[in-house]
Structure 1
Amino acid sequence: MSIRLVAVDEHVLLRLGLASVVATTPDIVLVGEAANLAQAERVVEETNPSVVTIELTLPDGDGITAAGRLRTVRPGLGIVLLTASSDDSLLYRALDAGLSAYVTKSAPAASVLAAVRHAATAPTSFMAPGLQTALARRHTHGGLLSPRERQVLLLMRDGTSLPAIATQLEVSEATVKTYVSRLYSKLRVNNRAQALMVAVNQGLLPTSDAAA
């Protein structure tokens, strides 16, 4: 089955370029385009795509924020941030928002197509060029956990269930499970109790706030 793609970008040339690239691939079909977020919501509803590529800056809002809302409504939708900007902070935002991939417009066409295919098959698993290196820099300069992962950890400490965490953070339960999986991996634990114990021991949670 072909990957159904919607491109969201205010620049017509970018959308035309993406359409040209996709036209050469038998497994991806461009089923819709949008120049802003309002159009994107309508086009996604009408075309039911597998994947959406979205620009960071759009005339009526922030692409990553909008992508987070899309993820909540459509947990199985692949979302690729396709933008001209390239920096660690943007990669971290895309990762924390639960997007599927981040790739720059200057990347080779093969990299863009790889991101789309990844998003279609593993929408809640994040990929980006240089991801591991960027995460290493983040751990060195910004602490072990991302702000969103720490937020999830604090809610776990309070005994909040995963569905309730998803509701509070306005993300899908699948996205919360991804955060929890990352927490367990980073802390090298297998369950909530172990995660809280290690977090306290490593100073990621105040000792007075720890829950049993």
Structure 2
Amino acid sequence: MNILVVDDHPLARLGLSSSLAHVTNIENIYEASNVSGAIKLLSHNDIDMTLIDLNLGKEYGLEIVKEAQRLKISSKFVVLTSSGKMSDFTKARELGVEGYLLKDALVEDIIYAIRVVARGKPFYDSELVNCNFKKKENDISQLTARERDVLVEIGRGLSNIEIASKLLISEFTVKKHVSNILGKLNLSHRTEAALYINNIDTT
């Protein structure tokens, strides 16, 4: 099986490619950082599966799927992204994307998803499929202003270190805020927090 990894971050591509290099049945791994590069590789190589990040700098990863379909390129597509927006998930499914995982998934889960999709079955992150969060205003109003700031950055896919740098607070303080957020909103982990903030109306 030949796989194409599309991500605009070199380290992310390298990390994923290195993890997949030792997987049985994966023969060749190609890499691209943008839409045009991905389409070029898909057009000139027999690629069985394409792993796509949605945020490719100023480009949108699903454009690869649209263009591949227009050119009648045969490849299965799996989205691997930090975006927890249900709108992105919905668009991907409407385009017929065979798989959709969040980037905080374990390598083992990614490999499992690849094998499931390779067998002709869809694989969608359970956190997205079962997303039934409360949307009552009093839920979000339980948070302090700073906790809401942290929650918004979690929704944008930032790490604790990145949030600390952006909000000019310590990483320890960020961790404390994250813990408070999860407790107040009755969530289990930051993936749920990201999905929560990306799928409620906070206006």
Q: If the length of structure 2 is used for normalisation, what is the TM-score?
A: 0.58
CA distances 1:34-70 after superposition (whole Å, capped 9, x unpaired):
1111111111122210000111021352111321332
Gaps of 5+ in 2: 136-203
CA distances 1:147-189 after superposition (whole Å, capped 9, x unpaired):
xxxxxxxxxxxxxxxxxxxxxxxxxxxxxxxxxxxxxxxxxxx
Gaps of 5+ in 1: 142-212
SS at match of 1:28: coil
SS at match of 1:10: coil
Partner of 2:12: 14
Q: CA deviation at 1:33?
A: 0.7
CA distances 1:66-114 after superposition (whole Å, capped 9, x unpaired):
2133234346411011111123222212111110100111100111112
Structure 2 residue 135 is matched with structure 1 residue 133: no
The root-mean-square deviation of aligned C-alpha atoms, in Å, is: 2.4
RCO greater where, 1 or 2, for CA within 8 Å and sep 6 or more?
A: 2
Q: How does 1:60-209 map to 2 (within 5 A)?
A: 61-74=59-72, 76-122=74-120, 125-130=121-126, 132-134=129-131, 137=132
Q: CA deviation at 1:15?
A: 0.9
SS at match of 1:102: strand
CA contact (8 A) 2:51 2:78 kept: yes
Partner of 1:37: 35
In structure 1, C-alpha distance between the alignment counterparts of 2:42 and 2:74, rounded to whole Å: 13
Partner of 2:24: 26
In structure 1, C-alpha distance between the alignment counterparts of 2:56 and 2:129, rounded to whole Å: 28
In structure 1, C-alpha distance between the alignment counterparts of 2:125 and 2:30, rounded to whole Å: 26
2:106 partner letter: P
CA contact (8 A) 1:5 1:53 kept: yes
Q: CA deviation at 1:119?
A: 2.7
CA contact (8 A) 2:35 2:63 kept: no
User: Structure 1 residues 60, 85: closer, same or farther in 2, change over 3 A?
Assistant: closer
User: Structure 1 residues 71, 116: closer, same or farther in 2, change over 3 A?
Assistant: farther
In structure 2, C-alpha distance between the alignment counterparts of 1:62 and 1:25, rounded to whole Å: 28
1:128 partner letter: Y
In structure 2, C-alpha distance between the alignment counterparts of 1:101 and 1:71, rounded to whole Å: 16
Partner of 1:184: none
Partner of 1:196: none
Aligned length: 134
1:106 partner letter: D
CA contact (8 A) 1:71 1:77 kept: no
CA contact (8 A) 1:7 1:15 kept: yes
Q: If the length of structure 1 is used for normalisation, what is the TM-score?
A: 0.56
